[in-house]
Amino acid sequence: MALKLEPGTRLVIATHNPGKARELAEMLEHRFDVVTAADLALPEPEETESTFAGNALLKARSAAEASGLVALADDSGLSVRALGGQPGVYSARWAGPGRDFDLAMQKVEQRLDAAESDDTAAWFTCALAIAWPGGPAVVVEGRVDGALTFPPRGGRGFGYDPIFMAEGRRQTFGEMDPAEKAQMSHRARAYAKLKAALV
């Protein structure tokens, strides 16, 4: 079934993470009337799925039903090959209840040290889901591969950005100009697929 999202549609971004909300709002190119789950004081559903796509869909459906609006949700995270793909869907949880990503990055470094591995390969995955209240939904995924670097570098971006360098880049996502990151990140790749799906 072909789905279409008309410009100017009121859309809720199903996140309480201001960095994620900002990146998604910028990707939407101000084509929609955007509010966030935080703006509407919507509850944060428990992320009970085992995949990024499953959690993105869960969050989008929850926000759509709670708000009565079309909802866009993101579930994304960092996976490290030497750690068997961890933290993966638990990326935010590694930061603890205070969302302390300095702590989360330390945990990644400590786990790598404990694994005694010099394999720094890692990737970011982003699943985007858009859901209509009581209606259909679309889920897509984007991925960017790269490597970890320590200590963290750069104060731009958010989350694990200061320890991740995309393939072929010498800057971390935390050092990269936001416009440059927006052109090639996992979130950008997922959004390109989402736009293609919403014909």
**Residues with catalytic roles:** 75
Q: Are 7 and 31 in contact (CB under 8 A)?
A: yes
CA–CA dist 164, 174 (Å, integer): 8
Residue 43 preceded by cis peptide, ω within 30 = no
Residues in the chain: 199
Please give the single-letter amino acid code of residue 151: P
Enclosing H/E stretch for 109: helix 101-115
Q: Are 87 and 104 in contact (CB under 8 A)?
A: yes
